[in-house]
Amino acid sequence: MVYSVSGNKAIINGQNGIYDKKVNNQEVKYGRNAANNYTAYTKNIANSPEMPPLQFEYRYIPQGKYSTQALMGNAYEELGQRTEVSVAELNQKLNQDKQKIEELNKQILARNPESSVAHPDFAADALDLNEDGKVDIGEYATSTMAADMLDGNPSKCDITNLDGVITNKGEDASMGLYMKQNMKNAKTVFNDIHKTFQLDKAMNEFKSNLNNMSK
């Protein structure tokens, strides 16, 4: 199984996974396994007759020193085993999330017409830091780190809260960074993370070893 269960929580990490015998770099392997396991967990929520716990704890890098190579492996896997994708493609995925929220809103309002529901308008444009119409793994990784930071404090991205773990709280808080009205502030957040952790350098190091991208 790609996750374990502790109480009412799914525990997801990259300790084991499909890349155990394919990727040599231990940190990259962990990050890719973690992302693949998390994807499998979310698919189980949608498709499994025995739905896993909705509460989760997702460790996307190994415990200990923060690993930007595990982070790059994680981003590479989340982008469909590609080092970059178009902003248009990411926006399409966010639009699917919006449609799911609107469908949920309909169900809520059907039960209680007086309920308060949100109608978010998402966009991934803030992740395109160099404004070339694409989001590479270095740029995309800033969103993972932001979700991690917001997990500790949903109102502020604080580096001191970075621990390599994301839960429902961080994931939910990070969605605010994709709302169109927050685009300017989100881009500032992503840029600061990108520069502070030298993610361009980390991306080039990741790409320099073809084994890191084994399929």
Dihedral of CA atoms 108, 53, 78, 33 in degrees, nearest 10, equals: 180
Q: How confident is the model over 159-175, as pLDDT tens digits?
A: 999 999 999 999 989 98
Asked if the model's pLDDT at residue 105 lies above 90, the reply is no
Q: 31 vs 119, 173, 213, CA distance in Å? A: 33, 22, 12
Residue 135 one-letter amino acid: V
In the chain, where the domains are located: 4-210
pLDDT at residue number 100: 62
**pTM of structure:** 0.89
Residue 177 φ/ψ, nearest 5 degrees: -70, -20
pLDDT at residue number 30: 98
Contact 137, 83 (CB under 8 A): yes
pLDDT at residue number 53: 87
Alpha helices in the chain (DSSP H): 26-47, 68-78, 87-111, 137-152, 168-174, 183-196, 199-207
Q: How confident is the model over 24-82, as pLDDT tens digits?
A: 999 999 999 999 999 999 888 767 777 788 899 999 999 998 999 999 999 999 999 99
pLDDT at residue number 1: 67
Tokens 């395109």 found at? 128
